[in-house]
Amino acid sequence: MDYALDYASLPLVSMLIGLTGGLALFLHGMTMMSTAMRAMAGSRLKTIMARLARNRFSALLTGMGITSIVQSSTVTTLIAIGFVSAGVLTLSQALAVIMGAAVGSAVTTQIIAFDISNLSYVLTALGFGLSLWKSRRIASLTGSVIMGLGVLFIGLGLMSDFMAPLRTYPPFLELMASMTNPLLGILMGAVFTAVVNSSTATLGVIIALASQGLIPLEAGIALVFGANIGTTITALLAAIGQPRTALQAAVGQVTFKLLLVLIWLPLIGPLEALTRAMSPSAEAGLALAEQLAYEVPRQVANVHLIVNLSTVLLLLPFTNLLAALIVRFVGDEPAAQETEDLTPALNTVLFEVPPLAVDAARQEVVRLGERVADQLDAAVHALLNAKTDAFDTLHNSELLINQHHTAIIGFLEKLLQPELPGDVTRSAIELVEAADYLESIGDLVDKEMIPLYLRHAARETRISDEARTRLQALGAAVCESLRLALRSVADADPASAQSVLEAKSAVRGLERVTIDFERDELTAETLRHLLPNALERELTESLRRTFSLVRRFVRVGTGLLRTGIPDGFEREE
């Protein structure tokens, strides 16, 4: 196709359509790759993230690893911000993760700088064929990754082809010439990145321009600087409405990117020389446009890698100092808060990586269970020792349990979308049911145990010392089973849940001892215990139902209800 057109007849409309269409394909290919790679990683992302607390170097590697999986440094940064706001990461660790994300994005740029446009359609077709192999999940997801890579390069090729007429368009050539002023290039790169919400997309457009010989290396360097700054906008927006620690992490990313530009801006000359030295050169005798088209795409990718990696290596030893300065500048969390943060682990930015969102929900379900276990312990003690002054505290505890439960269910309902992988969907639904069982235990305490005690207290019904001892043993066994169930659900470990199921015979034995004791010890003075509403009998029944809810909770929370209960364990209570 001959693009040597007079600039007066430049097909601006078709160029704009081709550019936006190519960019859309480029971003769609990135999304396909990211979605498939996240699905393949699955719960292993939790293992990767668990290594963050070790040291700064492991946090740096984790940031690189997560970015290579999700194919977006912005997503990695948002995850780090979410973990900081939840208290899982310190600000210093989050800064190391953010730095690792910068290096990971530079690796992505290296990939898209390869000229494999001739293979893009082959990759798309091959990937599509593999993606249809649904009976082999990994093969199908691998196909989606390959197809996404092919679509990405098709989009890159479209952008390059449709921008070819700009070679003869004087206003554009003058604009590129003005890029000798790096501030203009930085501004343009930052604005474009903020608009498209992806530094990788900006670098894709830069490489597409460079592949037509439309920009010199000097302009490419300035645009790379701008892309680094523009990518911070998303993190700043995500920090709105979050705890102060989230804002600190977002400011940390801005600080890192600004330091990157400030360090390298005075060194553009040496940076250009270094990049040319480590990048392939065109053969002598080529026209300037052909020479630029051959050299600049790889040079842009190398610039991105050099400035990101070198700045990370320079600043990584000082993350603690940088974190302290940011806290001093932004301010720490207010000392007094009117309300308790019931669900610190839940942050919607984790929706970018659904397995991590499910893990956060599991963590909060366990925290809800700990709150319920504390309430149950306190209720048994108060009921058996006539501590009526504790009832208001128990009622307030129930209100917090309801609020905590509502927050968890709301988070999981937002997470549950049709495009979620099947295993993630099942886990989320199981956690919803598990949280419901915990909330039901809280209701048993507040709406059944306490009212029946007050009803019997009005009749002056008292619990004998012997009955109190047996009820305390039963209550302790139920509370112990609940705490053991919480540990099993926290680890999503069906094997450890078996000990909760095995406790059924022991708990039932304590129930029978309590009831049979009432019958055996009746005297003329204790005939009122024969009444159907006898307090000991009703408390025993409430604790029996509590234990049944504990068993159901551990079954669904550890996946036993889905995978099947081992031989020897009943399904029915």
Examine the pLDDT at 365 and tell me if it is beyond 70. yes
pLDDT of residue 569: 43
CA distances from 219 to 215, 263, 266, 297, 468 (A): 6, 18, 15, 12, 82
Please, what is the end-to-end C-alpha distance for the chain in angstroms? 76
Render pLDDT for 368-406 as a digit per residue (tens, 0 to 9).
999 999 999 998 888 888 788 888 888 898 999 999 999
Please give the structure tokens belonging to residue 103: 């290096």
pLDDT of residue 259: 92
- Model confidence band, residue 45 (pLDDT cutoffs 50, 70, 90): low
Helix axes 73-85 and 91-112, enclosed angle (nearest 10): 170
pLDDT of residue 343: 76
pLDDT of residue 44: 62
CB atoms closer than 10 angstroms to residue 515 = 16
Q: How far apart are CA 76 and CA 91, in angstroms?
A: 15
pLDDT of residue 24: 85
Closest CA relative to residue 95, chosen from 362, 316, 364:
316
**DSSP secondary structure code for residue 525 in this structure:** G
Among residues of the chain, what percentage have pLDDT more than 90? 13
pLDDT of residue 505: 79
* CB-CB contact of 74 with 197 (8 Å): yes
Examine the pLDDT at 353 and tell me if it is beyond 90. no
CA distances from 261 to 182, 265, 267, 526 (A): 11, 6, 10, 85
pLDDT of residue 335: 46
Q: Residue 220: how many CA atoms within 13 Å on its side-chain side?
A: 32
pLDDT of residue 333: 58
Range with the lowest mean pLDDT among 110-114, 226-230, 541-545, 556-560?
Answer: 110-114
pLDDT of residue 403: 92
Q: What is the mean pLDDT of residues 254-267?
A: 91
CA distances from 570 to 118, 365, 469, 474 (A): 61, 25, 29, 21
- Model confidence band, residue 260 (pLDDT cutoffs 50, 70, 90): very high
* CB-CB contact of 354 with 421 (8 Å): yes
Closest CA relative to residue 401, chosen from 432, 372, 379:
372
Examine the pLDDT at 85 and tell me if it is beyond 80. no
- Residues 415-423: contacts with CB under 8 Å, at least 24 apart: 415/351, 415/354, 415/357, 415/358, 415/361, 419/35, 420/354, 421/39, 421/42, 421/354, 423/42
pLDDT of residue 204: 82
- Model confidence band, residue 6 (pLDDT cutoffs 50, 70, 90): very low
117 vs 272, residue with greater confidence:
272
Range with the lowest mean pLDDT among 65-79, 181-195, 253-267?
Answer: 65-79
43 vs 134, residue with greater confidence:
134
**DSSP secondary structure code for residue 134 in this structure:** T
CA distances from 38 to 74, 136, 355, 394 (A): 15, 17, 9, 43
The set of residues, in sequence order, having a beta carbon less than 8 Å from that of 372 and lying 6+ positions away, is: 401, 438, 439, 441, 442, 482
CA distances from 336 to 5, 36, 324 (A): 68, 44, 21
Q: How far apart are CA 372 and CA 445, in angstroms?
A: 9
Distance of CA 221 to the CA centre of its chain: 32
53 vs 348, residue with greater confidence:
348
pLDDT of residue 7: 46
Q: What is the mean pLDDT of residues 412-432?
A: 85
CA angle 540, 546, 550 (to 5 degrees): 140
Render pLDDT for 170-213 as a digit per residue (tens, 0 to 9).
666 676 666 667 888 888 888 888 887 778 888 888 888 888 77
Please give the structure tokens belonging to residue 439: 């909330």
- Residues 452-456: contacts with CB under 8 Å, at least 24 apart: 452/533, 452/535, 452/538, 452/539, 452/542, 453/383, 453/535, 453/539, 454/388, 454/391, 455/533, 456/533, 456/535, 456/538
Q: What is the mean pLDDT of residues 270-276?
A: 90
Examine the pLDDT at 128 and tell me if it is beyond 70. yes
pLDDT of residue 262: 92
pLDDT of residue 179: 64
The highest-confidence range among 114-128, 290-304, 428-442, 556-570, by mean pLDDT, is 428-442
The set of residues, in sequence order, having a beta carbon less than 8 Å from that of 353 and lying 6+ positions away, is: 38, 45, 66, 70, 75, 79
pLDDT of residue 178: 65
Outline where DSSP puts E strands in 295-358: none
Mean pLDDT of the chain: 79
Please give the structure tokens belonging to residue 560: 């036993």
Examine the pLDDT at 515 and tell me if it is beyond 80. no
- pTM exceeding 0.85: no
Q: How far apart are CA 518 and CA 21, in angstroms?
A: 80
CATH numbers and ranges of domains, the chain: 15-281+288-330 (no CATH), 353-563 (1.20.58.220)
Render pLDDT for 521-530 as a digit per residue (tens, 0 to 9).
545 455 444 4
- Model confidence band, residue 570 (pLDDT cutoffs 50, 70, 90): very low
Dmax of the chain from CA atoms? 117
Render pLDDT for 276-302 as a digit per residue (tens, 0 to 9).
888 877 666 666 667 777 788 888 889
**DSSP secondary structure code for residue 212 in this structure:** T
Give the torsion through C-alpha atoms of 71, 75, 77, 82, to 10 deg.
-140
pLDDT of residue 533: 43
Examine the pLDDT at 439 and tell me if it is beyond 90. yes
The set of residues, in sequence order, having a beta carbon less than 8 Å from that of 200 and lying 6+ positions away, is: 30, 71, 72, 73, 105, 108, 109, 112
Please give the structure tokens belonging to residue 95: 């800064």
Render pLDDT for 86-107 as a digit per residue (tens, 0 to 9).
666 788 888 888 898 888 888 8
